[in-house]
Amino acid sequence: MPNRALLALLAATLIVSACDPADSQGPGESDPVTWTKVDLPAREEPVTLTPDGEKLLIGLRHRGAKVVPGLTIRSDDGTLTPIPLKPTSPYAFEAIWQSVAIDGTTILGLGGAAGGAHSNTRYTVWTGTTSGVVEKPQEFNTFGGQNAGGVIGAVLTPSGGALLGTWGSAVSGLDAAVWLPEGEKKWVRQNVAGTALQSTAALLVGPTSGTVSGDGIVLGGSQVKLGPNLVEQHAALWRSTRLNQGWSRLELPEAGTRSEVRAITCTTTTCLASGYVDGKLAMWKIEGDQATRYQGVPQVAVGDKDRVPSAVESGGKLIQLAADGGKVKVLIGDDNQWTVRDVTGPTEQVAQTVLVAGALYLLSGPVGGPLTLWRAEVAALH
């Protein structure tokens, strides 16, 4: 009899446990997020993604072709519309897109190809519209020479386009650099002396990414403070009020002992910065002059060569893609409560993510290797 009572009690306990709402999971929270590979023309590899309203501008690389770079616009129904390109200089034919910006029908592109005795990157500038884009050859000293740094991006603001990067400082290390167009063909590096973009003996400026917010430009990266027995690298932003005017620096909070912004995306009033703090994934939200670090972010290791894509906001939730041990993870934040979901499809590093017309697109693949374009409905991530 005692055994029968014990069995009855155990059965009742199991039934109650099975019905307990606390043990149930939300729809799909434990299921992997299924991504669909986006088909592109044969032998064309995606290298950059740029939102264009309800469409997606894709920068392509065609290895072995006479003209390596390509551009195409993908509509929501999957239709691809190629944009004609007209390269002129030798390196333009071999260029790999570093950054492509679009505003309405206007396009500004930055390409790069290894060349010269030291295989340094030879940058090429492309301008035009969705009807056609033309390379505008530049003098060697525009981006090259003894004091050359790197060019990290192209942006289009309401006041015009700009190229962003670094250049040898007259004071210490590298300055942040801005190139603006002079006429229809020539691009000229601007003087940053006395601005927040200039490095000093005590503070080195180090931008890694750039975007547009309202009328201004936002650079993300890190600053290095120098002093007696002092070397501190902390995440920081540099922001202009209008194109290349009114630059200021914003130190990001809770920056640990070593940190950096690797990617940034902005609306008119808000920016999301993604990077690392002390070797772990970190994210910040910037509204006006106030920056807040997101709490409880899952522990994902970020190495010196690891790429960190921009985060996106959708339905009041923060979505961050990350590579963890060669596997792609979807991190979903809701008021500092986080869900981590596996994926099927993408593997290795995540190079870029963008949100377009209710769908999230990502580029993934091995470091230095070919990338693949994937797509998932944002609703599947909520």
Q: Is residue 7's pLDDT more than 60?
A: no
Tell me whether strands 106-115 and 160-168 are parallel, antiparallel or unpaired.
Answer: unpaired
Q: For 346-380, how does the pLDDT look when each residue is reduced to its tens digit (9 = 90+)?
A: 999 999 999 999 999 999 999 888 999 999 999 98
Q: Is residue 236's pLDDT more than 80?
A: yes
Mean pLDDT to the nearest integer, 234-260: 98
Q: At 144, which helix (H) or strand (E)?
A: none
265: which residues sit within 8 A by CB, 6+ positions away? 211, 271, 272, 310, 311, 312
Residue 366: how many CB atoms within 10 A of its CB?
11
Quote the CA–CA distance of 72 and 57 in Å, as a whole number: 6
Quote the CA–CA distance of 11 and 6 in Å, as a whole number: 9
Give the domains, in start order, of the chain with CATH numbers: 42-137 (no CATH), 144-293 (2.120.10.10), 305-382 (2.40.128)
Q: What is the pLDDT of residue 167?
A: 98
Q: What is the pLDDT of residue 30?
A: 63
Quote the CA–CA distance of 40 and 53 in Å, as a whole number: 20
Q: What is the pLDDT of residue 222?
A: 98
Phi, psi (5° rounding) for residue 19?
-95, -5
Q: Which residue(s) pair with 174 in the sheet?
A: 168
Q: Which residue(s) pair with 110 in the sheet?
A: 99, 125
Q: For 186-223, how does the pLDDT look when each residue is reduced to its tens digit (9 = 90+)?
A: 999 999 999 999 999 999 999 999 999 999 999 999 99
Q: For 271-315, how does the pLDDT look when each residue is reduced to its tens digit (9 = 90+)?
A: 999 999 999 999 999 999 999 999 999 999 999 989 999 999 999
Mean pLDDT to the nearest integer, 29-57: 93
Quote the CA–CA distance of 289 and 227 in Å, as a whole number: 27
Q: What's this model's pTM, rounded to 2 decimal places?
A: 0.90
Q: Is residue 28's pLDDT more than 60?
A: no
Residue 283 and residue 297 in contact, taking contact as beta carbons nearer than 8 Å = yes
Mean pLDDT of the chain: 91
Q: What percent of the chain has pLDDT over 90?
A: 84
Nearest to 111 by CA among 50, 63, 53, 47: 47
Q: What does the angle CA 84 – CA 85 – CA 89 come to, to the nearest 5 degrees?
A: 165
Q: For 150-178, how does the pLDDT look when each residue is reduced to its tens digit (9 = 90+)?
A: 999 999 999 999 999 999 999 999 999 99
Q: Among 12-26, 230-244, 359-373, which stretch is predicted with the lowest mean pLDDT?
A: 12-26
Q: What is the pLDDT of residue 272?
A: 98
